[in-house]
Amino acid sequence: MTTTTVDLTDARLWADPGISALVDELRAAAPVQLTHTAQDGPVWSVLSYEHSSAVLTDSATYGSTGGSLLGSGGAPAGAGKMMALTDGKHHRDLRAPLLPFFSPKGVRGSTERINDLAAQVVADAVAQGQADLVEVMATVPLVVMCDVLDIPEADRDMVVSVCDAAFLGTTPQDRRAAHQRLLPYLFEQAMRRRMAPAGDLISVLATHRVKGRLLPIEDVVLNLDNIIVGGVQTVRHTAAMSIMALLDNPVEFQRLREGAVGVDSATDELLRYTSVGLHVLRTATRDTRLGGVDVRAGDKVAVWTWAADHDPAAFDAPHELRLDRSPNRHLALGVGPHYCIGAPLAKAELGAVYRALLDQVAEIEVTGAPVHNQSIINFGFDHLPVTLHAR
């Protein structure tokens, strides 16, 4: 058994330029090894693509109810209530009514709206001159999420403001306080639509029945909050990190500009390359063997998505950005039963943002030092100051 003294839960590691070499060295030593973490104690770190896929596709052996993220501080309140923290039939029961909103067919109906929104957001940023790309990139998923939830027009400024604070607040206390303001609003909306349902996502979830009973309103609200968080954070951080990756790889960026590689292919490669959702946590439900080590029931198992998506056994030259990479079966949006329900929507939003930038921007000038956040949940930037020069 290999035990690493490197605490992968230290967010500072992931901002270090040497992270690629470090992860390669750790993976070469052992694809699964014991990590002693500061907050969560001993955790099995899974670093290879093969074993990461095995964990994520076997929810019977590696369960979600014990928590899906490191650093959450013990048993999560939403265990057994939220899609992210359920498995098996109950997970499928929660997921089923939401699929039409996020399916490729459902997303295609919103494509024009998403493209127009991205074009306007980029146009506004160009007109502004100096901008924080992190804030700019948050606008599209926030507004789209308001559309999906059918938030009343009169409430949208408030909801966007609260979500901004929840996701972009400068301190954990600010972000937590914003969530505490968002939850009562979602509760009120869920109750209203349970009484007078329409065809929106809140109504569908508020009137959803499991085993003949209405889903408890607390479960409705927890799932709505989780959907908003997931829908905004992944897109925001992937977009900002992707722009930086393109700037660091000017040859690939030029190929994208010239149309030598398509936006759809580029979107998947940028998702893989950035892998902003650094990890996924599971708990072993029974004794098993994984990557040559004995995992006991109750052990925490952390799949390090970034490590899996940069595994040379699965990807040729994984540390190179290749926008036309094919095949590209990355794990940035998961795999198996918990594959990101919003994946088609996230890809549509990211593609719309990239197209808007290609259409309207001649040069992206970084005007200040990028500031990485301190998160291993959605790793990215807190700030990325830029000037967008118009074409």
Per-residue pLDDT band at 167 (split at 50, 70, 90): low
To the nearest whole percent, how much of the chain has pLDDT over 90? 76
> What confidence score (pLDDT) does residue 235 get?
93
369 has pLDDT over 80 = yes
What's the chain's average pLDDT?
92
pTM for the predicted model, two decimal places: 0.94
Half-sphere exposure of 385 (CA within 13 A, CB side): 5
CB 83 within 8 Å of CB 94: yes
161 has pLDDT over 90 = no
Write the pLDDT tens digit of every residue in 28-87. Answer: 999 999 999 888 899 999 999 999 999 999 999 999 999 999 876 666 778 899 999 999
> What confidence score (pLDDT) does residue 1 get?
64
Task: List the alpha helices (DSSP H) in the chain.
Answer: 11-14, 19-29, 49-57, 88-95, 99-102, 104-108, 111-128, 133-149, 153-168, 172-195, 201-206, 217-248, 250-258, 263-274, 305-308, 343-360
CA distance 234 to 276: 7
**pLDDT greater at residue 79 or residue 262:** 262
Per-residue pLDDT band at 170 (split at 50, 70, 90): low
> What confidence score (pLDDT) does residue 163 get?
75
Q: Which residue has the tokens 């349970």?
A: 194
Hey, CA dihedral for 123, 124, 129, 134, is it positive or negative?
A: negative
The CATH number covering residue 33 comes to: 1.10.630.10
Write the pLDDT tens digit of every residue in 323-357. Answer: 999 999 999 999 999 999 999 999 999 999 999 99
Is residue 192 packed enough to be buried (19+ CB in 10 Å), middle (13-18) or exposed (0-12)?
middle
CB 273 within 8 Å of CB 252: no
**Two tokens, residue 272:** 């893989």
Of 58-62, 132-136, 281-285, 321-325, which range is least confident? 132-136
**Two tokens, residue 290:** 């994984």
CA distance 175 to 169: 5
Range 379-387 average pLDDT: 94
Domain membership of residue 295 as a residue range: 3-390
> What confidence score (pLDDT) does residue 169 get?
64
| H/E run at residue 33 | strand 32-37
* Domain total in the chain: 1
166 has pLDDT over 80 = no
CA distance 386 to 380: 16
Residue 124, SS3 per DSSP = helix
